[in-house]
Amino acid sequence: MASGTVLRGRGVSPGSVAAPVRHLAPALPEPDAGVTVPVEERETEASAIEWAAVAVADQLRSRTAQATGEARAILDASRLLASDPELVSEATALVRAKGRSAARAVWETAGAHEKSLAALGGRMAERVADIRDVRDRIIAEILEVDMPGVPESDEPFVLVAVDLAPADTAALEGGQCVALVTEQGGPTSHTAIIARSLGLPAIVGVAGATAIPDEAVLLVDGEHGTAEVDPAESSIAAAIAAATVVPFDGEGALGDGRPLALLANVGGAADAVNAAAAHADGVGLFRTEFCFLDRVDAPSVEEQVAAYRGVLAAFPGRKVVVRTLDAGSDKPLPFANADHEGNPALGVRGLRIARRTPALLDDQLRALAQATEAESAQVEVMAPMVATVEEARDFADRARAAGLSRVGIMIETPSAALLAAELFEIVDFVSLGTNDLAQYTLAADRLLSELGDLNDPWQPAVLRLIGMVGEAGRAAGKAVGVCGEAGGDPALAPVLIGLGVTSLSMTPRSLGRVAAAVAEVTEDDCRRAAHAVLATGTAAEARAAASAVLPGRGRA
């Protein structure tokens, strides 16, 4: 693979690091299906499965005791899988009834369980890696061979794999692995969860990652989802400097003293606690999906209230903007989405789920209202994937009827941006989801790495739509937030402010860098930068135009 090659995937844990590549050892080969165990030996063969499962459960129990936080919970879930009486009984039944070898019986039984999880889609499908991990551990125990896994090293390395099992990922704590790159996996996979908990930069869904040769140096940018092979030293230095966490004192303001709310994107109570510790001014995007994932049916109102209160409690007296359930597309849920949609990104997702199951939205709004009543945070609620005035009006009516006074919508579709003036007659605020806005404006799947250049908030078409929304917000005297990836880009922040954006929301680690960037500019600087980029025709020209208007500020 040529030096300078840049592979793209989905950044799931921020940070930048460069180190030599090491590959995860390959999985065990598939046991021979042609072996038939004689009848008189089948009982002994079946008992090998039972003993192996017990041994694996004991190994995982020991690992669980040494782990902490998310890793401990995930390893314990794997231990329970190894102890699953259904898995063991089904495998031993195959041995007794059909004469399968112990290893083959475990392989086939695990395969059936994998198919069941894959059929559920979404986050449940990502648990397939867990089943395979337990399968391989039991088979390795039966065959008395070493279990493949994370390589040992005395030097820092970037671990590259097709995917990682939870036990592998959890085993990274305290080792020499400094970043993760996988060909498969999603934002809610165990690889992503544990990488974030360990503070390891991580990218998933990187096509061709396993073709990177061992010992090639890989520059991993876990925030933007890029991995550069054998980069120049200057590229390494620039990326690591850009990823350095700058402290934030909680005071966001332009150089001329105009205050600017710098908020955090969170996905649950633990994220909210971390965001508060990072001095975020509040929450600009509370993703409520965490409450609904890993389930075959929707959570009760009571369960939701408890979950929401955990986030609101971290920000007493401060703003928390809650996004209602954004399932569908890359986050399907079995109780909310169809088994199959030909084009899920354009299908029943976000607010559109209420067309099919209105009670799901009404229950969530009711739970949010109860959580708001119980806590002192200033709660605002917004709907994702709004495309029409009618959808916005229906959502606003439902939210206000539930007792929520501040109601807004996400601007993620070009139609919503074009209708911003009319939408401001209905809602109190809007928030720009720049990731999806770029996806739908450029007609480029945001999960497809080879179209990464199109999913760029610096694309002039996207900036012009943001400018239309900002202009409508100024005319209405209402708030315009940004909660997509663009909100945490210190180079783009002054441009967004000039376009009419009144608050920026981001991962907490970006707060200090964005605060430092906006403190160097005045409102007039921002407006001139916005005017300059709106006259450009390409993303590169837009970056250059902003840099020319804002000289000497480290912008790219």
Encode the chain (556 residues) as per-residue pLDDT tens digits. Answer: 788 899 988 887 878 899 999 998 776 788 998 899 999 999 999 999 999 999 888 887 876 776 666 566 666 666 777 767 888 899 999 999 999 999 999 999 988 888 877 776 655 665 677 788 888 889 989 988 766 677 767 789 999 998 877 667 666 776 789 999 998 876 656 677 778 767 789 998 898 999 999 889 999 998 788 999 999 998 888 887 766 778 899 999 999 999 999 999 998 898 899 899 999 999 999 999 878 876 778 889 999 999 999 999 999 999 999 999 987 655 566 666 666 667 777 888 889 988 988 999 999 999 999 999 999 999 999 999 999 999 999 999 999 999 999 999 999 999 999 999 999 999 999 999 998 999 999 998 766 656 767 878 999 999 999 999 999 999 999 999 999 778 888 899 999 999 999 999 988 888 998 999 999 999 999 999 999 999 999 999 999 999 999 955 544 4
Whether 250 maps to a domain, the answer reads: no
What Cα–Cα distance (Å) separates residue 254 from each residue in 262, 289, 444, 516? Answer: 11, 34, 34, 9
Q: Which residues are catalytic?
A: 190, 483
81 and 123 in a common domain: yes
Q: How far apart are CA 511 and CA 250, in angstroms?
A: 9
Buried-state track 468-492, b at ≥16 Cβ within 10 A, e below 16: bbbebbeebebbbbbbbbbbbbbbb
Same domain, 535 and 411: yes
Q: What is the pLDDT of residue 412?
A: 96
Same domain, 120 and 169: no
Rounded Cα distance, 188 and 194, in Å: 10
Domain CATH code at residue 425: 3.20.20.60
Terminal Cα-to-Cα distance of the chain (whole angstroms): 27
Domain count, the chain: 3
Same domain, 192 and 314: no
Please report the DSSP string for 124-183 in residue order. Answer: HHTTHHHHHHHHHHHHHHHHT-PPP-PPP-SS-EEEEES---HHHHHTTTTSSEEEEEES
Residue 281 included in any domain: yes
Whether residue 414 sits in one domain with residue 336:
yes
Locate all alpha helices (DSSP H) within 67-101, ordered by sequence. Answer: 69-82, 85-98
Domain range enclosing 179: 6-25+148-243
Q: Are residues 439 and 535 in the same domain?
A: yes
Rounded CA separation 179/169 (Å) = 11
| Structure confidence at residue 126 (pLDDT) | 58
| Domain match, 373 and 427 both | yes
Residue type, 197: S
Q: What CATH number did the domain enclosing 239 receive? A: 3.50.30.10
Same domain, 190 and 214: yes
Kindly state whether residues 481 and 343 are assigned to the same domain. Answer: yes
**Last-in-domain residue among 101, 126, 143:** 143
How large is the angle between the packed helices 460-476 and 523-533, nearest 10 degrees?
130
